[in-house]
A and B are shown apart, each in its own frame.
Chain A
């Protein structure tokens, strides 16, 4: 399949998928108990029936649910995801503001997990019976078994109390301002713990996966051919074997991208990272339906983009998927 055809097809699927996600989320949220008007009134310090009716009229909550849905769809097609009850600002603005930090966090965590996990897995596969390989396997199991929020809290305790060298909350230090490098370094400094926490579970998984995959590839005929050519072992392992062994890692990473985003909600909460996760949590607690829906739509789009990137990576890794020139 040509690349253009693939992209066109994927875009069509993506639109359908997002529409389906929106319909489902809309129904589910309306089915949940709780009245946003009451929450809004509560925020204002209480209100009588007349004011409540006015609030409902303002936000269109007095309309029948199917009509509300129709309006939502029409508006979202024009890029309007409604106005947040909680922040009284357009949901799109809120999401765009929070999208950057989340993408930064998730991408860093994924990259760390894939690079370090794969390298550990390769190292373990070189000498599958050695002590080092055993240590890597045990660490992977521990990393895999620890819930992400618990790892986060432990790291907060460690770096907040025992060894205060890394910031444990937020994304910026209010005392540091300016532009360019200073800010970037400050953000990176704040990024270390959340990204590490989020990546640990996946790092563990990918190292196990890479180890198994490498062991399989190292036993194949073409690796024997590479050795028979007289190639040095590093070339055999990192050139001939690794590229083949990466395929399962990339597949799993693509499939798990959704889990990574839900993990990000927990990590953002633990480390007060100003991303989509904290926004979603606040919105859910505040019955801020438009924001909840907006965040869910946005994360669906992220997952779709991630799957597309996975497919592209796959085509790059494996020429058999590219078809005839």
Chain B
């Protein structure tokens, strides 16, 4: 890293800082504003839970940070993603490849299809080790075996020569984690890592991630719609709705005292957070997510919000900081000084 790309603040700067990230997709029916000024920070060893319902832009945020959005039709329209103060969005592609899988890693939702069926597990882990750490074939494979052992695969030296179809879903996700952590990245993006797995395996995977975080100090961006997983894993939580972060704060604040009506709905919906009497219907948030084709000139949640006022349908709410370490985008909380005003209107 060169001095010119490092911010002068040095140690004070967060490990990973995403700011004003906007992504657009060109579609037949117009431009879809998939991400709209998404921002959050992640400190070393910390876990940030990124929550929201399907299609709100959680995975797109991850892909944009990795610069893996298919373009065209996608485009990162604005924003910044800084790792150790270094701007990733400005890097040449060849430099960015040295960051992917090395400093910033990612594991995906679908362990069943995320591994290449025609290469052995060991080869696939060793591949990034050879690429980023410059080890030779034999040393890289030995490192891959160590990683498989670290994620709890029994008989790793033998299983390294297995193909993905020899592994169960949980084992494949362990192998994916081994692959992602093989080069000791600074940060790991886990995009719904347990959605496709059954409940007991989910718990094992979360335990494994927590353990590895303790051991390596890797920061984790945990993308999920499982509030239980967030409660267990995350230090901080960012809530996304329709391509925007509507609330951010510490995990206890968010779960115990959610401010944004959408977060309140989300927390109330989570089964298991609150005892549900037999026969009682599970809570839901009425309505559906608005189309992303119109860049909202109002609060995107207004149509579904029980507190909506005329103002909510006229202008998008500015971000405000009702308490230290908390941010919320809602007209219900305008009383505190806005951290950053939206439009000069």
Contacts and interface: CB of A to CB of B under 8 A. Distances in A.
Contacts of B110: 221
B97 A232 contact: yes
A224 B100 contact: no
A227 B176 CA distance: 14
28 contacts: A221-B110, A221-B113, A221-B114, A222-B113, A222-B114, A222-B116, A225-B116, A225-B176, A227-B100, A228-B68, A228-B106, A229-B100, A229-B101, A229-B127, A230-B99, A230-B101, A230-B128, A230-B131, A231-B101, A231-B127, A232-B97, A240-B116, A240-B119, A244-B116, A319-B120, A320-B163, A320-B165, A325-B161
Interface in B118-133: 118-120, 127-128, 131-132
Contact of A222 (B97, B117, B128, B161): B117
Contacts of A230: 97-102, 128, 131-132
B66 interface: yes
Contacts of A243: 118
A324 B159 CA distance: 12
B111 to A, nearest CB: 9
Interface in B91-111: 97-102, 105-106, 108, 110
Contacts of A2: none
A220 B120 CA distance: 18
A305 interface: no
A319 B124 CA distance: 14
Interface in A276-325: 317-320, 324-325
A229 B179 contact: yes
A228 B97 contact: no
Nearest to A225: B114
A244 B128 contact: no
A320 B117 contact: yes
Interface in A208-250: 220-222, 224-232, 240, 243-244
Nearest to A241: B116
B115 A228 contact: no
A292 B262 CA distance: 81
Interface centre among B113, B118, B128, B166 (most CB of A within 10 A): B118
A227 B96 CA distance: 11
A231 B116 contact: no
B57 to A, nearest CB: 17
Contact of A228 (B101, B131, B163): B101
- Chain B interface bracket (under 10, 10 to 19, 20 to 34, 35 or more): 20 to 34
Given A228-B66, A244-B118, A221 B108 contact: yes
Interface of B: 66, 68, 97-102, 105-106, 108, 110, 113-120, 127-128, 131-132, 161, 163, 165-166, 176, 179
A297 to B, nearest CB: 37
Contact of B115 (A225, A227, A318, A325): A225
Contacts of A240: 116, 119
Contacts of A229: 100-101, 127-128, 131, 179
Nearest to A222: B116
Nearest to A244: B118
Contacts of A224: 68, 108, 114
B113 A220 contact: yes
B100 A228 contact: yes
Interface in A59-85: none
A104 B117 CA distance: 34
Q: Which of A220, A230, A232, A324 neighbours the largest number of chain B CB atoms within 10 Å of its CB? A: A230
Nearest to B116: A222
A225 B118 CA distance: 14
Given A230-B97, A230-B98, 6 more contacts: A225-B108, A225-B114, A227-B100, A231-B127, A240-B119, A318-B118
A240 B97 CA distance: 16
A244 B119 CA distance: 10
Nearest to B96: A230
A232 B117 CA distance: 20
Contacts of A244: 116-118
Contacts of B163: 319-320
B164 to A, nearest CB: 8
Contacts of B113: 220-222
A99 to B, nearest CB: 35
A222 B117 CA distance: 8
A226 B113 CA distance: 12
Central interface residue in A226, A228, A244, by most chain B CB within 10 Å: A228
A216 to B, nearest CB: 13
A227 B63 CA distance: 11
Interface string A143-165: 00000000000000000000000
A325 B66 CA distance: 37
